[in-house]
Amino acid sequence: MIKTIFSLWVVVLLVGCAASTTQGLVDEQNWYGLGEQDGQRGLPQRSLSDLRTLATDAGETINANYLDYEQGYIQGIDAYCDPTHAYQLGLDGNPYMGVCESRPGSQRFRMEWQRGYNDFQNQTNGLFY
């Protein structure tokens, strides 16, 4: 019984993750969601050309909406650049691509991320007790 419930939970989780993939968001024409996802992951903002390429790869009838993407990206990057979770991002080994540099608190974010990333490297090298 427990194995069945766990298996069902895993399937639901995988289906939920598939819907939030880049290609899934493009197929749904959810440009806001794509921008928000990119921002929350700390990725550099895509260009209109990048979005058009994604749209073309998905099918000829899909048009890229850069304004929606940009609004979503701003929302996502606001969440990502919150210095209160920068340490955890570094500790998890996530790279920082400099996307917060023009935002308030960027120096604190960078310092906290670096502190976490240093601890991550120490753990990886077996120097953390």
- Reduced 3-state DSSP string for 45-107: CCCHHHHHHHHHHHCCCCCCCHHHHHHHHHHHHHHHCCHHHHHHHHHCCCCCCCCCCCCCCHH
Contacts of residue 94, defined as CB under 8 A and 6 or more positions apart, other chains included, come to 42
Mean pLDDT of 49-74: 89
Q: What is this structure's pTM?
A: 0.76
- 59 vs 86, higher pLDDT: 86
**How does pLDDT run across 14-34, given as a tens digit for each residue?**
444 444 699 999 989 999 999
Report pLDDT for 82.
94
The whole-number average pLDDT for the span 98-105 is 92
- Percent composition of the chain: helix, strand, coil (DSSP 3-state, to 5): 70, 0, 30
Q: Cα dihedral sign for 93, 97, 98, 103?
A: negative
Q: What is the mean pLDDT of residues 47-75?
A: 89
Q: What is the pLDDT of residue 127?
A: 63
Q: With contact defined as beta carbons under 8 Å apart, do 31 and 66 qualify?
A: yes
Distance CA 13, CA 3 (A): 15
CA atoms within 13 A on the CB side of 102: 4
Print burial letters for 6-39: b (CB count within 10 Å at least 16), e (below 16): eeeeeeeeeeeeeeeeeeebbeebbbbbbbbbbb
